[in-house]
Every structure is written in structure tokens, then in C-alpha cells.
Amino acid sequence: MEYNFLKIEKKWQKYWLENKSFHAEIEPGKPKFYVLDMFPYPSGAGLHVGHPLGYIASDIYSRYKRLKGFNVLHPMGYDAYGLPAEQYAIQTGTHPAITTEKNVARYREQMDKLGFSYDWDREVKTCDPRYYKWTQWTFIRLYNHWYDQAAGKARPVPELIEHFRSSGNADVRAAVSPNWFDELSKKDATFGTGWKGIFTSSDWAGFSEKQQQSILMNYRLAYLSEAIVNWCPELGTVLANDEVANGYSVRGNHPIERKMMRQWFLRITAYAQRLLEGLDGLDWSDSLKEQQRYWIGRSEGAEILFPVKDSELSLSIFTTRPDTIFGSTFMVLSPEHEYIEKITPASHIDSVRAYLHEVINRSERERMADVKKISGVFTGAYSINPLNGKPIPIWVADYVLAGYGTGAIMAVPAHDSRDYDFAKHFGLPITEVVSGGDISEGSYDAKDGTMINSGFLDGMQVREAIKAVIKSVNETGTGRGMINFRLRDAIFSRQRYWGEPFPVYFREGIPYVLSESELPLELPPVDAYLPTETGEPPLARAKNWKTKEGYPLETNTMPGFAGSSGYYLRYMDPKNEKEYFSKEAVSYWQNVDLYIGGDEHATGHLIYSRFWNKFLFDIGMAVREEPFKKLVNQGKIQGRSSLVYRLKGSNNFVSQGLKDQYEHIVMHVDVSLVNNDILDTQAFRQWRPDLADAGFILEDGQYFCGHAVEKMSKSLYNVVNPDELIEHYGADTFRMYEMFLGPLEQSKPWDTNGIEGVFRFIRKFWRLYHDEENQFRLSDEAPVASELRILHKTIKKIQEDIERLSFNTAVSTFMICVNELGELKCSKRAILEDLLVLISPYAPHLAEELWQQCGHHESITKAAFPVFNQEYLVENSFKYPVSFNGKMRFQLELPVGMQADDVQKAVLEAEESAKWLEGKVPKKIIVVHKKIINIVV
RNA sequence: GCCCCGGUGGUGGAACUGGUAGACACGCAGGACUUAAAAUCCUGUGACCAUUGCGGUUGUGCGGGUUCAAGUCCCGCCCGGGGUACCA
């Protein structure tokens, strides 16, 4: 029987589907294991060779865990909302749901061909109303919760209202937007100017419904607010910070503008500290954890008030270096700072306004482009250093950002490089207060040294001085210790059609959420997928987009990360119509044990998910604080482009080795026309009409191409599609080759040529079970020691390799095993049946087929992983490498049990030693048992 | 600039806790089988020197160091990839 992979693979894929071989149910007595892939956005292009890498790895791991007796949950679904389908809808009028459905079908077909062990009964699609019902439900819950800093968790808003009613808000420690009361009192004069946001129970009773709701909005975990956002006119939507790179949209590369808009936000900042602390217990890569830590950006410091000279006002600054306060020689406000107009005297108002005008007109992109350009203006006002009473000038400059801290700093040029550059540029004084640097050269930023020129701080070390200053400002009421985070609240609105509608309506301009019983609020049909003439989002086009009572519904939709933030929980109980997921399901499946996916989600999905999960944990839904215990980022598979060299101004091409003798232009050529870097010149001429008469300058009668490793992309003609390879070699070969390429986490170039080696191996493997006539044949003879040694060596290594996700070395191990068994012409059932189970996670179709031929009536997925037995590996001698001065010279076989003294003796007596000793007496002999012997001469 | 990851033959990579560098595979060269091809199998393959034989020298980005012993640890650089961008 020939190895007919096409037939075999189809047969077993059908079998697994029909028998629901990978369907998981709660089995209380059995240990669970949850293996998850980051679900894909189904794009129109289908999967290329890079996509399945992580899926293959997770599939091998899942199958392995099943063999090890675990109840494995291994689901797959689709992150179905996304811009490409919507852009296509705008261009063609095709409803994005139709495009998405088509792409999903194509993805499914491609994944099925790879033989994955997904439980397809648990499939979810984020655009399915049965799914997004729970996305909307979570939004309502977020809206109806606030974050209690004292309790360190989210609590229901009704409890907060109750508290306001009985005791006001003076003693409530909540996560709220900074200075929220300023915004409110600005819009509603009845709160009174200078209102600090504190109210009593009777104040609360006196507030109107609108006032009460406006106050509550500042406490909710999902809230509506005005903010400067990244507006992308091309896409007609707002983008989150992580959807923007260098002033352009990550998707589509369109320019971004800053714009003030009303948006929904999620108060993720309330969870900043917990998001940071939670990282410590996670089995994630250091680089990923580092990225998240940096993104969260916790810094400890102090907030200090500087009174403005000849004014009632005080300016609040944030600093991480309160110790350097005596070295502060000026103060800088961000151009957006609201006090600028109030403090600037008439003498300076024109120059200040001119500067603000200039800065604000510079687009975000320009500002980023010339970071190094120093600009600023003196306001003419002075503030008083609260510690020494000295006045310092107040400047405005765009190197201070409105969005961080208080939007104002005390500049300490001697100990901050940015302040130093600014001071040098404008000729401002520089006062050294920490010894250790040379301020004529540059600022000394290290938190290390002795305080000088600093009054009562003199002689202290930096760390002591920081504490002393905080203590001092605390006592005088001019400041306090403060922790600041870089993390911003997540903008949750998009002005798009293809997303989850908000379960929100407006009554007299006040937003209210729908009741949970009204969910899902389904996405309505629209006549076009564009904004309206008045600039409203596409949902404003929907007919009757209002509640039963006639109140208008929200026209924004949710962003991409809404649906992906909690999908791993829904997989636990995907068909539940009453709940997001049952208590029973979550108690059993808990959280994800192994999560595999791309590292581009480091500061997006992976932070939002953790936040989402922590919130669900707080409200008693999730049972674990962290969603993903272990996380692995698979590397990208890069394209390996083929290059040809066209002579300048002609249609002749010169082979790689000769190219430097000619003036040439490098050109990409489709990789399908190239085999082992040799160009198929005939096919090349037929590739494009303009190449029909191409001429070639050959080397040894052949045209050799150059190559380059770059991203896999259509425009570089280096895209390799898995379908063709599976057609050619089968899924089992494809799976093993992807793993064989290199370590999972590493990025590496795709090179189709190597797949032949794995294909050879697979056929060799098949032949172990067949005789010369291709007839299935196993012998029932008892295995000999050498055969058992090979098997158990392999069991040990395969198990170790899978456990540490080292799939490439596992494939090598199988190759070695098959080479060795082949040499022994081993065809013994006792060896080869165990070998089938070992390889079944990697080459599942092949393993099933041979397992059946062995006479088994049940799928190999139900088998048990072979148990490693150390006894078979016991050797009674060891071939010691013998080194002289660390250089390996020869090998010497000695009994394993020999004592170190005897080994030394034996080595010196060995014939070959004489040559290296040259008659000298060795200084020292090191014997490492079963490792090495080193003789120092 | 800062943070993280990496640099090993012609190529992908192996060497897990310091202990025989280059496993396994691709490619290449030579050979067997065959009328021929495919398939399969065997041999060789880091570089340099020697090749009549044993062999020798050198070698993991560069320069130092620790150690009986360094691809692996330490210090200083160079290069590549990713993240971040005036975060006080």
C-alpha cells in the first residue's frame, strides 16, 4: 500500500468531524487543560504559510495533553468585526456580514485541511448577535459600576447613589477623571465657580436629574466624555493610541488629526495598579511583560502646589524628583494648560498667544517629526517655590504634555536633560543640587548623590531627600506623595458601521443604558456605510434607530477590542442563552492555561482582556484574576524573496554571481518560478508579457537568483500559500515542516525547498510499517535492548521537548529515531505502536491510519502517551571525551561505575595520553562523571 | 535616546543546568540501482594546512576578563530585529 496522503487525510478529517473526536464537556473528575489560539480576523486573502504556525503548535500541544489524560478545551472562532470588510462595503455596497461570512468559510476550509483538533461546536463569531449580546451586557455592567479605591474593586453604581443620598461624597475614594468637577462647573453655573466636586447628602438631594447623572458619569467604569482624540478623516473614525503609529493609522496608513469629540471611554486606569501587579505571577515572556509595564508606566513622585506670584491661583506640578525642588529655576506649562490666559499679564499676552497659535496649528505629525526642536515662550508671570519662597519664571512650551501628570512641571535643568536643553536654549539659570555630575557638560539625571544648595536637605542622599520633601509639603499642605500612570482610559467609540451597537439611548440629552432583557440590540440595516452629510456615523442612517419609547439610540459602535476582550470566557459555555457563561463552566475551565498568538497584541488586546477579566472577576463572574496563565508569542514567518538582476536599459538578466560586472537593477521575481535559487527561465518569460523576449547571462548554464528576507507580501512576490503545499505533500508533512523550521518564538524565513526533507522522513516512517511490496507488516517478536533503548530515548526527548514547546527539536528527534530503527530494520509491534502514539500530535492523519492498520478500532486520540522507562537507557560504559587543557583529544570508553581515582589512573595509562603529556606530570585532572575528563598539563 | 530580543557552516537550525560546537535537515559533490527518469540507498561536506598515513591549526559578531573548561557567565563595543517616543 502506497502512502496516499490525500486519501488518508480526507478520511480522518471526516472521521474526527463525524465522531466529534475533539468535543469537550465538563468532566468533574478529570483535570482540565485550556489551550487557546488568538482568533483571527478573517481577511479576504485567506491564510498564508505564516498564519498556521501558532495553530499547529497549539494543536500539537492539545493533542499531547489529551494523550496525557487531560480534558482539553481547544476552541476556535473569528474576530469578525473589522475595517477591511467595511471598506469593501463602502466601495461595493456589499453588506460586511456577507463578505465576512464568505471569508470565514474560506478560513474554515483551510483550517480543516490542516487537521486541527478544534471543538467546532464551540465556535464564536464576534459579529453574531448571540455573541455580542454579551459584549453589550458587559458594557452595561461597566456602565453600572464604579471603582472603589478603598475596597480595591468595582462596585455597583446603585450602592454609590445610596451613599450619596445618605452621606454625600466626601468620604468616597473612587477612581474618577482628574478635575472632573471643573468641566461640570464650567458647563453648569449652578454648581458655582471654584466648586471642588464635594457635596453633602442634602446637596445631592437638591441636584436635578441631569446634574446627578452628570456627576455619576464621572464615576462609571464606562463613561461618556469629551476628549482630544485621534481623528482619521480618511477612515471617518476615531482611533485608539495603539491603532496609530507616527501620526498615521496602523490600518491603511492614513493621516491622523487631533480633534475634540464626545466619546465613550472605559476606565481602565482604575485597574492600572492591579494590571501592573498581576504581571508578576504570569508565565509570559519578559519582553512582553516589560512592554506592558512600560505601557502602564507607573511612576512614584509628588504633586506640589506652586502659588502664582500676585495671584490667588496655584499651579500644581507632578515630579518624580521632589528632592531637586531647590534646583528648580523655572516652571513650564503645556500649551493646553487652562491657567495660561489667567496668569499671563497684558504685557506678555500677545507673544504668548502667538506662540500658542503656532503650536496648535502644527499638526501632531509635525510635532513628532521635530522632537528636537526647542520652542517656548515666557508668560511674564512667576510662581513661588513653596520650600524656599523664591520666585521663578513661568514658561509655556510644547515639550510638556497636557495629558500626563498635571500638564505642568517644575523645571530642574541641572538634573533633567530636557529641562537642561531648554534652559541652555533660552539662557535660563542652572543650579546644581545633587553632586556627582558636571553641569557645565550636561544634566546629571541619576538618582544617586548628595544634596547641595538645598537648604535643610543638604548632605542627604537622594532617596532620603525625596522622602523629606514629601513629608515637608504634606505638613504645609502644599503637596503630597503621588503615583502617576502613563496608561490612559481606553476610547471605546468608533464612528463606524461594522461593530457592536451600544445599548444606550438618550433622553433629553442624558445617556441611559437599555435593560439587559432588551439585548441584543441588533445592528440595523443602512442604505450606505458612510457617515451622513452632517458628519454623523453610519448608524444615524438607520431607519427607526430609537427605542420603543422613541428615544434616539447611540450611533457610535464599539471598537475592535470589544468583542475580543472576553471571548475566551464565552468559549467555556458558547451556547448559553441565559448567561455570558455558567458558573459551573467557569468553575471547571477557570482560565486559559496556554495562549498562543502574535506579539503585536502586547499593548492592545492583551491589556484590554486582562482589564475585562478583572472587572468580571470583581463582579463575581470570572473565577481567576488573570485570563491567560502562560502565553507564547509565535514568531513571524518572513518571506524569502527571489531577486533577478536586469541590465540597465535592456531586457537582459545577469545571474547572481556575475551581477557585479554589470550595471544592473534589482527586480523581485515570483518565488514559484524559482527552485533552489535557480530560475526557470522559460516560465520567467511567460510570467509577464514584457519579459517574453528576456535574455540571460548564465553561470554554468543556469540562472542563479539572489534572495532577500522580508515580510511576506503580494507586492514582493514571495507569498506562499499552504493549500498548494498540502496538495503536494499532505498536511502531516506541512505541519511537521512548519515546526521543523525553527523555534516557535523566533521569526524565520520561509523556504519551501526544505519541505522535501520532511516529506522523505514521513515516507521513511511509513515504510517502517510496510514491507518491500508495500504490504502492511508488523512482527510480534519481542523487542531487543537496542530497539527499546531507541524507543525510550525518543519518548523521553519528545516529552521534554513538547513540555518546553520546542517542537523543532522534537521533529529532529523523530528523524533520528526513524533513521536508527531503519538501520535495525525494526518492524516490531511493541516498538512501532508506541512510536505512533508519540508522533500522533504531529502527524495525526498518518498516525490514525497506521494505528487502524495495526488493528485498533478506536481512534489514536484515545490512546495513552507511552510511559518512559529509565531502565532501558542504562548503559554500563561511557565514552569519555578526554581533553588536555580544555581541548578534546580523544575518546576513552570506561565503565560507568568506575570511581574518579580509577578513571584518572586509566586515562593516564591510555596509549594516546603519552603523546599529549609529552613526559610531563599533569598538574590537575578533572573528572566529571559521565561528562568529561580534562587534564591540565 | 531608552527598553527588550537576537548574531553559530552556503541555508534553516542543534548544543536545555558552563563539559566532545555544528545534531537533524536543505543544498552541493561523488557513487550504487536503472536503457533512462523518478523514487530509494551509500559516502563526503565549517575554514585553513597536510594528505603518503596518522593528523594538525583555527573557529560560535568584535575586544577584553572569570574558569581546569566559555556559543553558554562578566565588562566594553559593533551589527540586525521589535517596542516606545519629549511621560517630568
ipTM reported for the complex, 2 dp: 0.94
Find the Å distance, CA of residue A754 to C1' of nucleotide B36.
27
Q: Which nucleotides of B are covered by protein (CB under 7 A)?
A: 3-5, 11-16, 19-21, 23-28, 39-42, 56-57, 68-70, 81-88
Q: Which residues of chain A have pLDDT under 70?
A: 1, 240-248, 250-252, 361-372
Cβ–Cβ < 8 Å for A229, A263? yes
pLDDT score of A367: 55
Q: How many angstroms separate the most distant Cα atoms in chain A?
A: 106
- Which amino acid type is present at position A320? T
Give the up-direction half-sphere exposure of residue A935: CA atoms within 13 A in the CB hemisphere. 27
Q: Residue at minimal CA–C1' distance from B15?
A: A809
The whole-angstrom separation of Cα A917 and Cα A908 is: 9
Distant-in-sequence, close-in-space partners of A20: CB < 8 Å, separation ≥ 6 = A121
The whole-angstrom separation of Cα A42 and Cα A99 is: 10
C-alpha triplet A767, A768, A771: angle, nearest 5°? 65
First to last CA, chain A: 62
| SS3 annotation, A191-236 | HCCCCCCCCCHHHHHHCCHHHHHHHHHCCECEEEEEEEEEEECCCC
Find the Å distance, CA of residue A889 to C1' of nucleotide B55.
12
Q: A493-522 as b/e, with b when 16 or more CB fall inside 10 Å?
A: bbbbbbbbbbbbbeeeeebebbeeeebbbe
Return the closest nucleotide (C1') to the Cα of A811. Answer: B24
Return the closest nucleotide (C1') to the Cα of A748. Answer: B12
Q: Residue at minimal CA–C1' distance from B88?
A: A319
Return the closest nucleotide (C1') to the Cα of A801. Answer: B16
Find the Å distance, CA of residue A629 to C1' of nucleotide B61.
36
What is the DSSP pairing of strand A664-669 with strand A248-249? unpaired
Which pairs from A359-362 meet CB under 8 Å and 24+ separation?
A: A359/A335, A359/A398, A360/A335
Q: Pick from A54, A178, A78: which is nearest to A594 by CA?
A: A54
Cβ–Cβ < 8 Å for A118, A75? yes
Give the up-direction half-sphere exposure of residue A299: CA atoms within 13 A in the CB hemisphere. 15
Sorted by where each starts, the structural domains of chain A and their CATH numbers stand as 157-272+490-541 (no CATH), 298-485 (3.90.740.10), 637-710 (no CATH), 875-936 (3.10.20.590)
pLDDT score of A109: 94
Q: Note the helical H segments in A662-772.
A: 681-687, 722-729, 731-740, 755-768
Find the Å distance, CA of residue A596 to C1' of nucleotide B54.
54
Find the Å distance, CA of residue A524 to C1' of nucleotide B73.
64
The whole-angstrom separation of Cα A274 and Cα A261 is: 29
Cα-to-chain-centroid distance, residue A534: 37
Find the Å distance, CA of residue A116 to C1' of nucleotide B80.
35
pLDDT score of A702: 81
Classify the phi-psi angles of A453: left when phi > 0, otherwise alpha if psi is within -120 to 50, otherwise beta: left
The whole-angstrom separation of Cα A872 and Cα A874 is: 6
Per-residue CA distances from A107 to A182, A281, A722 (Å) = 51, 35, 12
Task: Find where cell 457592536 sits.
Answer: A500
Per-residue CA distances from A164 to A168, A209, A510, A902 (Å) = 4, 14, 20, 86
pLDDT score of A266: 95
Cα-to-chain-centroid distance, residue A426: 43
Task: Determine if the peptide bond prior to A520 is cis (ω within 30°).
Answer: yes
Cβ–Cβ < 8 Å for A191, A180? no
Q: In the numeric block, which cell numbers belong to residue A683?
A: 516560465
Q: Residue at minimal CA–C1' distance from B13?
A: A742
What is the phi/psi pair of residue A887, to 5°? -105, 125
Q: Look at residue A341 and give its three-state secondary structure.
A: helix
Cβ–Cβ < 8 Å for A734, A755? yes
Return the closest nucleotide (C1') to the Cα of A675. Answer: B27
The whole-angstrom separation of Cα A760 and Cα A737 is: 11
Return the closest nucleotide (C1') to the Cα of A320. Answer: B88
Give A357-372 as a DSSP string: HHHHHS-HHHHHHTTT
The whole-angstrom separation of Cα A74 and Cα A119 is: 6
Cβ–Cβ < 8 Å for A189, A183? no
The whole-angstrom separation of Cα A732 and Cα A720 is: 17
Return the closest nucleotide (C1') to the Cα of A923. Answer: B68
Return the closest nucleotide (C1') to the Cα of A879. Answer: B20
Find the Å distance, CA of residue A446 to C1' of nucleotide B75.
21
Find the Å distance, CA of residue A675 to C1' of nucleotide B38.
17
Find the Å distance, CA of residue A640 to C1' of nucleotide B70.
34
Cβ-in-10-Å burial (0-12, 13-18, 19+) of A335 comes to buried
The whole-angstrom separation of Cα A834 and Cα A869 is: 13
Q: Pick from A377, A384, A296, A303: which is nearest to A334 by CA?
A: A377
Cβ–Cβ < 8 Å for A877, A895? yes
Find the Å distance, CA of residue A917 to C1' of nucleotide B65.
28
pLDDT score of A241: 66
CA dihedral A855, A861, A864, A865 (to 10 degrees): 110
